[in-house]
Structure 1
Amino acid sequence: MDGVTVIDHPLVQHKLTFMRKKETSTAGFRRLLREISTLLCYEITRDLELTTERIETPMATIDAPVLEGKKLVFASILRAGNGLLEGMLDLVPSARVAHIGVYRDHDTLQAIEYFFKAPEDIGDRLVIVVDPMLATANSSIASIERLKERGAKNLRFLCLLAAPEGIERFREAHPDVPVFTAAIDERLNESGYIVPGLGDAGDRMYGTK
């Protein structure tokens, strides 16, 4: 699909399989999510621009590569997005963090915002928006609209699983925002859940099911 990258690294796919298993414990699911999010972060940041900095090693003075520009912003769509956030911060601990609180009305499936907090200079930074599921896409579309209202211009969206219906709606709403995912599943069911999926990521991560 145009604008969609499937991260098919063997370790990503292996860990995702164990996350899908219904018998995987809360602790196991949480650990796997943190591990897989680090791998996904590695892939979504592989084209970051570099500059050089003159440093001294124990042996010589060299011009060594360092990231160019301002630090990244990881924008977590609460609450499940925090599961991806933790592993990404392990890899990029200096990143700024935004939180977007939206929940899906179980009757209308529409996104309702209840919290928003982001760095003031978000328009000058690359913003990676994270949420494990791209299902109906209502929450992700609303979250990115809010970030754009605050001035964000350079955005990417990262998820574990995506449904074809969600990708279509997301790309229609935000064609300028590339999507990175570990897998594109078959479909959504009548309740708006991804099939075969892995269930509700937030419930499985926090043991609230």
Structure 2
Amino acid sequence: MIEQVATYFTEHGGSWLQMLMEHLAISGIALLAAAALAIPLGVLCSSRAWTERAATGVASVLRVVPSLAVLILCVPYLGVGTLPAVVALTVLAIPPILINTAVAFRGVPASALEAGRAMGMSPLQLFCTVRAPLALPVAFAGVRTAASEVVASASLAAYIGAGGLGVLIYTGIGAMRFDLLWIGGLSVAGLSLVVNRALAAIDARMRRWQTVGAPAH
């Protein structure tokens, strides 16, 4: 098996790198689209308790819908290729980002907001200097969760001809090539781990900046 894997990378290393880039591109576009939709919606929903509960309830329902089901539903309307894959992955990524953002902004201490208002801050200043910095760690945790899920699920993109590392997995299944299954599976798992650790490092850096920048009491 090890010899077969080594032979594959020797002969098809360029193809593997191309599939890796496709996988990253599809995942990255979907994650950015989900963040662009879910973060503002989460902030809006956090203004009232009932809107937060409604948003998190809907998002929780969406989380149980398999991404493959969304992908299949998109095909009749969007065709095959990258677009339906990105749409399906975006739907997958929205719930954790939306839930964490709504909870994060809803959980900003009222005392911090009152202190900002007492200092004469405008609503925009209050948002930028108090609400957003305090909510950022919890909200960003949703982005980390979504990123891991999207990278892992992006393998399904190969099912409709969108490319990515899933091509190795589906080819391995069809041809009974266990070396391709191992390469594809481990590549996706490794990529998911790398992305998660990279985002964890960014999260840790932001938390250090938040601690350093916090006013002394």
TM-score, length of structure 1 as denominator length: 0.28
Q: Which has the larger radius of gyration?
A: 2
Going by fraction, where is helix more abundant, 1 or 2?
Answer: 2
Going by fraction, where is strand more abundant, 1 or 2?
Answer: 1
TM-score, length of structure 2 as denominator length: 0.28
